[in-house]
Every structure is written in structure tokens, then in C-alpha cells.
């Protein structure tokens, strides 16, 4: 090369001298783009890259599985307690369907309750199996009642001044009538498999109200009627406390960089919504837990506001569509703090839950392709007309602090 270079003439030397070290101004955006690429696309050996991926997936499964299992364990524990107490409390007159829970200790209203329950159970004879022993016990309890024996026996004549309960009314608390089905629905296994995600935290809320959304008042009417006959404070409305727990979300987020500042984010988000209803009346109380599983697809446009060292401050806005893939109601009835029955009912919101939201947060790259983020967001959930009540329908606008991991491609 040197020999050839020596042959180069003056003409070439002039070009080289003038152009070799020529400096041209760069754009301020160039450095930003370089930093972005250094953070997001660090070149790492393939073997290490797979290690990172494997670690990320395992961490997600571990965290997500732990949360899910812990929630499931709580549910199983509740059921076990109920099942253990049931044999010991043979005072329970009837088997434990979702309707007609009977409290045997309240002598004043035993008969009436038995009548109401018997009427209902005759209608549900094909659905509920009553053992001969239980039938005998039922009859015995009814016959032990000092008054209205005939009425009870025949089930036909009830004094006019005795409050009666519409047999059509199916008993569960805060459950729309249409959703009350066979109570023997087993706990469904809902498969849980998600990638990296964030923990969404919504503010829980306790609402004291009597008339709930949808047809909840129907069930409360029944509870009111049951309690009214024995209640000294006749006419006093039962009080239902609603508590929506903080939704828990895990999501696989994919980030697509559009330019130095803007990027698109989408992915798949799993959300768990739990709500508790507790109807407090004088003689009987219902405790209902609603557990809904949602899968959502968000689409956000993100804007990088500033960068400090490796931290990125950003803002994003977008929309999300969530589909309720599974759900369950667990209804437990108590009498004088003694659980008298439990029922499980499938429940699902058929409508899509749409929402729009805006977030501002900070992200920090942990590994190649993986960054941690913490953000604060405000979301508005549109009314989709569903009868299923959730934190979204109760509180359409809420503030969400969110932390998690994000995959960047």
C-alpha cells in the first residue's frame, strides 16, 4: 500500500489534505439516538442473551404464580373452614344450596324460615339432593316449632299476617338473578401464564349503600324480608358494604421505538379484580366475594421527556381493551357469626371493558432488552353497560401507581 501511495500524485494529496479531517456539524439528536440504542440494543453474546431471557421468564412465573397461588389458597381455606364446620352443625336444617340458608337457633323465626325454605326447596327438588337423614332432621325441626305446625306440614296455609317470601326470589347477596345457577360449580382452574409485568395498584374503596347497581336490590329484599320478621327494628334496611380491592395486573409489554422521542407500546395484560360485598342485617349476613380475571391489550404512545444518566423520564397515553375471561362469585351466609352455607357461581362480564389512560414515569435499563419502570397514571374506564359491578364501574376514574419490568425490542 505504501508503494502505491507513493505513486499518488499531487492531485490526490490535495484532496486528502483537505478532506481527510474535514469536520461537519452533527445534529443534537444524534447523541440521544446513540444513547437510546446503547441502552436498548446492547450487543451481548447470544448465550448471555438467552440467560437473561430465561431469568426474566422465571422471575415472572415465580412472582405471578406466587400471587395467584396465594389468592387461590385464601379461597380454598375459606371453603375448608366451611366444610369443617358443616358436619358439626347438624342444626343446619337443609343441605347447603345457594338458596334458603336456615339458622336454626333463632327460635322466633325458625318456622317462617323453614316454610320459605321448604317452598323453595320443593321447587328445586331436581337440583338439590336431600338425604333421608337431613329430611328427617328438617321435619323434626319444623315439627318442634310450637306454632303453625299445620301450615308447615302442609305448606299451603300461611297466616295472612305472616310475612312471606316470594319463592321466586333466589337467595344470594348482590347477585343478579340471571346469574344464579346451579350452586355446584367446581372451582375452575384458570391457567395463568404471563411474561414480564407490572403491579398495578388502585385505591380500594368502601361504599356504604343499599341499592347496588344492577339487580342487587332483589337479593337484599329477600334478606330484608328474612330479617324483618324477627327483627325488632322492623323496616330498617340492611346495609351493604362494598369493598373493591386493589386490582393486580401483570403484563407483557413490548416497546417499539419510532424515533428518538416517540415509541409505541403494546402487549398483553392480565388483571385480577376482587370485590367483596357484605350485607349486614340483624339475623342473617351475606358475604360475597367476586373474583374476575381480565386479559387486556393496551396500545400506548410514549414520549421521552428527558434523560438523566441511564434514567429515562417519559409520558405516555393510550387505550386498552380488556376481556373478562373468567370469574367466580363465592357467597357465604352467616347467622350470628356462624357460617351456615356457601355457594360458588360462575360469573363473567361479557362486554369489553375499554379504558383510556395517561402515564408519566421513569425507566431504568437493568439488562439488555429489559428495563424496570415506575410510573403514575390516571385511567378512565368507560361504562360498558354490563351488570357486573367492578371497581371500574364503581369508580370510573382512578389513579394507578405502577411498577414493573418492560421488554424492549
Q: Which stretch binds other proteins (CB under 8 A): 18-26, 192-200, 207-215, 268-276?
A: 18-26
Taking the complex as a whole, how short is the minimal distance between the CB of residue 49 and other proteins, in angstroms?
14
Compare residues 42 and 188 and give the one whose CB is closer to other proteins. Answer: 42
Q: Which of 6, 23, 133, 156 binds other proteins (CB under 8 A)?
A: 23
Compare residues 188 and 310 and give the one whose CB is closer to other proteins. Answer: 310
Distance CA 56, CA 365 (A): 13
Taking the complex as a whole, how short is the minimal distance between the CB of residue 52 and other proteins, in angstroms?
16
Q: Which residues pair with 272 in a beta bridge?
A: 248, 293
Total residues found in the chain within this entry: 409
For residues 255 and 370, the answer to whether their CB atoms sit within 8 Å is no
Q: Which stretch binds other proteins (CB under 8 A): 4-12, 71-79, 251-259, 393-401?
A: 4-12
For residues 52 and 367, the answer to whether their CB atoms sit within 8 Å is yes
Compare residues 12 and 157 and give the one whose CB is closer to other proteins. Answer: 12
Compare residues 11 and 129 and give the one whose CB is closer to other proteins. Answer: 11
Establish if 125 lies at the interface with other proteins (CB under 8 A). no
Compare residues 16 and 236 and give the one whose CB is closer to other proteins. Answer: 16
The residue with cell 507513493 is: 6
Distance CA 103, CA 82 (A): 15
Q: Which stretch binds other proteins (CB under 8 A): 10-18, 67-75, 187-195, 287-295?
A: 10-18
The torsion angles phi and psi of 96, rounded to 5 degrees, stand at -105, 75
Q: Which stretch binds other proteins (CB under 8 A): 2-10, 71-79, 263-271, 322-330?
A: 2-10
Q: Which of 6, 19, 132, 133 binds other proteins (CB under 8 A)?
A: 19
Distance CA 339, CA 68 (A): 26
71-80 CB contacts, 8 Å cutoff, 24+ apart: 71/272, 71/274, 71/291, 75/187, 75/289, 75/291, 75/330, 76/187, 78/330, 78/332, 78/342, 79/187, 79/342
- Per-residue binding string, other proteins, 302-331, x by CB under 8 A, is -------xx---------------------
> Alpha helices, DSSP H only, in 89-208?
107-123, 132-144, 149-154
Distance CA 371, CA 63 (A): 17
Establish if 34 lies at the interface with other proteins (CB under 8 A). yes
Establish if 46 lies at the interface with other proteins (CB under 8 A). no
Establish if 31 lies at the interface with other proteins (CB under 8 A). yes
Establish if 47 lies at the interface with other proteins (CB under 8 A). no
Establish if 21 lies at the interface with other proteins (CB under 8 A). yes
Distance CA 357, CA 347 (A): 27
Site for other proteins, rule CB under 8 A: 1, 4-5, 8-12, 14-16, 18-27, 29-31, 33-35, 37-38, 41-43, 309-310
Amino acid at each position: 500500500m505504501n508503494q502505491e501511495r507513493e505513486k499518488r500524485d499531487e492531485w490526490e494529496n490535495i484532496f486528502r489534505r483537505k478532506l481527510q479531517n474535514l469536520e461537519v456539524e452533527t445534529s443534537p439528536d444524534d447523541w440521544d439516538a446513540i444513547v437510546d440504542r446503547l441502552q436498548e440494543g446492547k450487543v451481548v453474546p447470544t448465550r448471555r442473551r438467552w440467560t437473561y431471557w430465561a431469568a426474566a421468564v422465571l422471575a415472572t412465573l415465580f412472582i405471578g404464580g406466587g400471587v395467584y397461588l396465594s389468592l387461590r389458597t385464601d379461597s380454598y381455606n375459606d371453603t375448608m373452614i366451611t366444610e369443617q364446620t358443616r358436619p358439626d352443625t347438624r342444626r343446619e336444617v337443609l343441605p347447603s344450596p345457594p338458596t334458603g340458608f336456615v339458622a336454626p337457633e333463632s327460635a322466633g323465626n325458625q318456622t317462617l324460615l323453614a316454610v320459605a325454605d321448604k317452598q323453595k326447596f320443593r321447587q328445586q327438588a331436581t337440583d338439590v339432593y336431600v338425604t333421608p337423614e337431613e329430611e328427617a332432621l328438617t321435619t323434626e325441626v319444623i315439627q318442634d316449632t310450637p306454632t303453625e305446625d299445620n301450615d308447615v306440614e302442609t305448606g299451603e296455609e300461611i297466616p295472612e299476617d305472616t310475612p312471606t317470601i316470594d319463592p321466586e326470589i333466589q337467595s344470594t347477596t348482590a347477585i343478579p338473578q340471571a346469574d344464579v345457577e346451579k350452586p355446584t360449580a367446581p372451582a375452575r382452574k384458570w391457567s395463568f401464564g404471563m411474561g414480564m409485568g407490572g403491579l398495578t395498584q388502585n385505591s380500594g374503596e368502601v361504599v356504604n349503600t343499599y341499592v347496588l347497581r344492577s339487580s342487587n336490590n332483589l337479593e337484599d329484599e329477600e334478606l330484608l324480608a328474612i330479617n324483618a320478621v324477627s327483627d325488632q327494628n322492623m323496616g330498617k334496611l340492611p346495609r351493604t358494604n362494598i369493598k373493591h380491592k386493589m386490582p393486580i395486573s401483570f403484563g407483557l409489554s413490548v416497546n417499539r421505538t419510532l424515533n428518538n422521542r416517540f415509541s409505541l407500546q403494546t402487549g398483553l395484560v392480565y388483571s385480577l379484580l376482587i370485590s367483596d360485598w357484605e350485607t349486614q342485617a340483624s339475623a342473617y349476613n351475606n358475604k360475597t366475594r367476586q373474583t374476575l380475571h381480565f386479559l387486556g391489550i393496551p396500545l400506548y404512545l410514549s414520549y421521552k421527556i428527558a434523560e438523566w444518566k441511564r434514567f429515562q423520564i417519559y409520558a405516555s397515553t393510550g387505550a386498552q381493551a380488556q376481556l373478562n375471561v373468567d370469574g367466580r362469585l363465592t357467597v357465604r351466609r352467616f347467622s350470628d357469626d356462624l357460617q351456615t352455607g356457601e355457594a360458588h357461581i360462575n360469573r363473567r362480564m361479557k362486554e369489553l371493558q375499554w379504558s383510556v389512560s395517561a402515564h408519566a414515569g421513569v425507566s431504568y435499563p437493568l439488562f439488555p432488552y429489559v428495563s424496570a419502570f415506575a410510573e403514575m397514571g390516571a385511567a378512565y374506564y368507560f361504562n360498558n353497560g354490563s351488570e357486573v359491578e367492578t371497581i371500574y364501574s364503581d369508580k370510573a376514574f382512578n389513579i394507578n401507581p405502577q411498577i414493573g419490568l418492560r421488554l424492549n425490542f
